[in-house]
Structure 1
Amino acid sequence: MTDATVDVLGVLLSGDDDLYGLKIAQTIGRPTGSVAPILRRLEGCNWVTSTWEQSNERTGPRRRFYQLSAEHAADARALVAERRPAPTTPKHTPLRPGWVSGR
């Protein structure tokens, strides 16, 4: 599993219902040319489902919306947590009363 795939899964886990290829690519800062094949592979493995945009109100090409499948959401969460652990909070030394920076 590549870092780019983990990035895509992280976005899909965000809960945003309006995720299409360009939006996912912009969110993770990767080119659409690398995100599109990842989405196709995930869809081929049934980790992701997609639907075409139905609205005609927007100009431009139709968008394809992606959603993480419910049956693989737990696997994706575990994988992202394993590969992208939450940053630890730095331990701060409490300030002593009366201490002023620069003195």
Structure 2
Amino acid sequence: MLYMVDMTVNLPHDMPADRADDIKAREKAYALDLQRQGKWPHIWRVVGEYRNISIFDAADHSELHQLLSQLPLFPYMVIKVTPLCQHPSSLQAQS
């Protein structure tokens, strides 16, 4: 099942730089692993914001929640999830 996930990160302004750097490094490693597994096939940065729009491929809502809640930046995120289905006018639907 595909999901569009809009993630906005709000790190505390008083978070020590070394702590923020550690969280970001762990986040990147986890995100790359999910991409290699095919669970996170698309990620786009929103220009000018600490935000991304991503497509996740999870078996169900529970798996998506598990994937998202394990993100190291999860405690500092506002996340909006939109489940997706194929549009009948897409090329893939015509096959």
Q: TM-score, normalised by structure 1?
A: 0.34
Greater relative CO (CA pairs within 8 A, separation 6+) = 2
Q: Which structure carries more strand by proportion?
A: 2
Structure with the greater alpha carbon radius of gyration: 1
Question: TM-score when scaled to structure 2?
Answer: 0.36
